[in-house]
Structures are given as structure tokens and as C-alpha cells.
Amino acid sequence: MSLLTVRDLEVRHGLLQAVRGVSLTLDQGETVALVGANGAGKSSLLRTIAGAHRAAAGSVTFEEDDVTALPAHRRVGLGIGLVPEGRQLFLSLTVEENLRVAARPGYWTLEKVLEAFPLIEARRKSRAANLSGGERQATAIGRTLMANPKLLLLDEVSLGLAPVAVDALYRSLGVVIDQGTTVLVVEQDLGRAMKFAQRVVCMLEGRLVLEGRAEDLTRQQVTDAYFGLGRVTA
């Protein structure tokens, strides 16, 4: 069953067209990695799906409802959660306070989130300003989970983080996926993206240039699409 359907989506930032006619479908419970070079349009696509940026054309359908014109807070209520690039935590608040800010009824409670993310369990009373990069990212993901999304949009999970922190975050995301959450993740590490996701989608200059099951694609195919050396569909 399709949870999310994006059709012919166009996104602009003033005169710059960041997303060009993108169509994409995510099924319930699916994990999809979105890859591409800086400026490919990945963050713009995620932000528009989440309602943080207005679509210039095209449509976004979530659980068969057209949400294209809905503001971000309405989409959160329907079950779309975005972890933005840069984390955007409340630095003066503690980890626990940051998590509680987003709380909505559902499986993901404060204790469930802390259990799934041991990286921050011992830091629950620490201010976000005093956290490491990995701990901040874990807190940002946990805050979005507290809203109990059906679709989790993750923008640049591993950017700027030490490998040990990235490993810990992806172990925690495995717990999230086991709970049935649908995940669309932007990831620069192609090897990790192909290992983590069921399906890989590559963007180049605002367009989708590759889409296929991770097990059916080679790293070379993904690399070629990443740098615009060919179009591949698997």
C-alpha cells in the first residue's frame, strides 16, 4: 500500500528551480535512501513533502489525501515527521525537554525513545548546547519520533559526525524501522545508504536520475548516476 505519492513536483527558491518534475512513491513500511551531490535538490524535496516549503507545481499525497496545500503542522498531525539538516534543537533546553516539546499520543513515549537511543539516555538532563554532534542528532531524531510519525524524513543523518556516532544512530534507526515506520533518508555515504535502505533514489540537478532496489544496484551504477554519467532504472 502506498503511503506517500509525489507527482510531478516542482520546487523553487526565487528564480532557482530546485526540484524539477519529481515523481516518487513510498510504500508503507519501506526504507528508501535519497542520494545525490550537494545542490541536487534532496533537502528541498524533503522540506516540501513535510510542508516546510511550498510546492510550485505538482502534488503530494499522503494516505490517499492530497496534502499539497496543507501547512507543516497539519502534516505533522497526519503523521509526517521531518528531522531537518542542522538539527535545530532548542539549545537552552535539556534533552528531555526537547523531546517532550513534540510529544503526541502513540507508541513513541519519552522512555521508548531513550531506550531506542542509548546515545542520549544518560544525557537526558543535559542541555542540548552541551551535547556532541551525535548526541544532538539523536535528540533531533528522537524529538521527531515523539510526534509518532508514520513517515520519518531524515535529512543528512551522518553529516559531520564521527563514524562511531553514525554507527550508533543507524543501530537506533533499525529499532525505529522494526516498529513499522516508513523512512526516507538523505545520506551522503553511498555504501551505508545501499546497505541500510531497501530502495535507493538518486537526484541530479533537481531530477530523479536513478531508482531501484538496493540489492539490484551496484555501487558503480549509483556513483555514475550521482555524477551524471548515465541514467539507470533497476
C-alpha cell, 176 = 525505529
Q: What's residue 86's pLDDT?
A: 85
CATH number of the domain that 98 lies in?
A: 3.40.50.300
162 and 134 Cβ atoms separated by less than 8 Å = yes
- Quick one: pLDDT at residue 229? 83
DSSP 186-197: E-S-HHHHHHH-
User: In a structure prediction context, what are the per-residue pLDDT tens digits for the chain, which is 234 residues long?
Assistant: 799 999 999 999 999 999 999 999 999 999 999 999 999 999 999 999 999 999 999 999 999 999 999 999 999 999 999 999 888 999 999 999 999 999 999 999 999 999 999 999 999 999 999 999 999 999 999 999 999 999 999 999 998 999 999 999 999 999 999 999 999 999 989 999 999 999 999 999 999 999 999 999 999 999 999 999 854 444
Cβ-contact 149, 141 below 8 angstroms: no
Type of residue found at 28: Q
The pTM assigned to this predicted structure is 0.94
Encoded amino acid at 145, one letter: L
d(C-alpha 89, C-alpha 187), whole Å: 20
For residue 60, the model assigns a pLDDT of 98
Per-residue confidence (pLDDT) for residue 87, from 0 to 100:
86
Domains of the chain: total: 1
Quote the domain boundaries for residue 134: 2-233
